[in-house]
Amino acid sequence: MTREIDGAVSSGDIQAVSRVGQILGLFSGENPTTTVAEAAGRLGLNRSTTHRYFTSLVAADLLERDHESSRFGPGGLLLQLGAAALGRRRVLDIAPPFLRRVCQNTHLTTVISLWGSSGPVVSRTEEDPTRSVLVTVRVGTQLGLRSAQAKVFLAFLADQLRVDRLLATLGPEEREELTAELAEVRRTAMSSDHLVDSGITAVATGVFDEYGICATVAIVGTVRTLPVDSGPFRDDLVRAAAEISERMGGARPR
């Protein structure tokens, strides 16, 4: 149970998290397994304390025990998290040439976003230097739930319980409207957003790997340079997303 002192988490809880991080940090390609005794020696802990940590980490599926050798290795959840992290990094390695092609063909800013803690986070942008007036978005910007990119993620995220929790933060009318929009996004695999106040328009679609949606790609412009119903621009975007998905081992939903 988390303990709080004057609104702050106690040092004991912080130390526990730090120790878990130290234990998980013992594993590497050169050191894929360890024992309680080895871990205790390397971390300077007594064996009984180290054994309790290992028992809890096994119960959480962060470690896995080989009962024949009394050695421990990364558990299923840790492997899942590692695969997800590698997938996120890989899509950012694969995507740039496709983003540049869309940017060159459309003369619009092209953006790839990854899912953060509670919404899409802009992870890379490609801008057209020939534009006298440039519409762009900063890398690191977290986008709102009504953004085109967020709607694509919300429509295809595997964890629909998380989606429901996010939708529950909206008012009843806004939630009902967004839910209807998500149904349309699932049908078309595309989403758009037009900010009336600024005149900025975005059109987005998803990038998929073997596990599901892993990113969104979008083009951003004004209502003049990027009409919401602009077919040719959408074709360039869809083609790029499909090619990135293919490289990632996934496919755009039909």
The residues of the chain that CATH labels 1.10.10.10 are: 15-83
The residues of the chain that CATH labels 3.30.450.40 are: 89-248
Across all residues in the chain, what is the average pLDDT?
85
**What is the architecture, at CATH level 2, of domain 15-83?**
Orthogonal Bundle (1.10)
- 101-106's contacts with Cβ under 8 Å and 24+ in sequence apart are 101/236, 101/240, 102/126, 102/217, 102/219, 102/236, 102/237, 102/240, 103/127, 103/128, 104/128, 105/236, 106/219, 106/226, 106/233, 106/236, 106/237
Across 47-56, 132-141, 204-213, least confident range: 132-141
What is the average pLDDT across 232-253?
89
What is the average pLDDT across 197-214?
88
Note the pLDDT tens digit of each residue in 7-58: 444 444 578 888 998 999 888 767 889 999 999 999 999 999 999 999 999 9
Quote the CA–CA distance of 174 and 155 in Å, as a whole number.
16
Q: Are 221 and 109 in contact (CB under 8 A)?
A: yes
**Percent of the chain at pLDDT exceeding 90:** 49
Global pTM?
0.69
As beta bridge partners, residue 206 has: 216
- Least Cα distance to 212 among 158, 162, 248 occurs for 158
Tokens at 185, concatenated: 């996004």
- Least Cα distance to 150 among 180, 122, 120 occurs for 120
- Least Cα distance to 125 among 135, 61, 147, 176 occurs for 135
pLDDT of residue 135: 83
Give all strands (DSSP E) within the chain, no chain letters.
4-5, 8-9, 63-66, 71-74, 109-115, 120-126, 190-195, 200-209, 212-222
**What is the architecture, at CATH level 2, of domain 89-248?**
2-Layer Sandwich (3.30)
pLDDT of 110 over the 90 cut: yes
- Least Cα distance to 246 among 196, 207, 205 occurs for 207
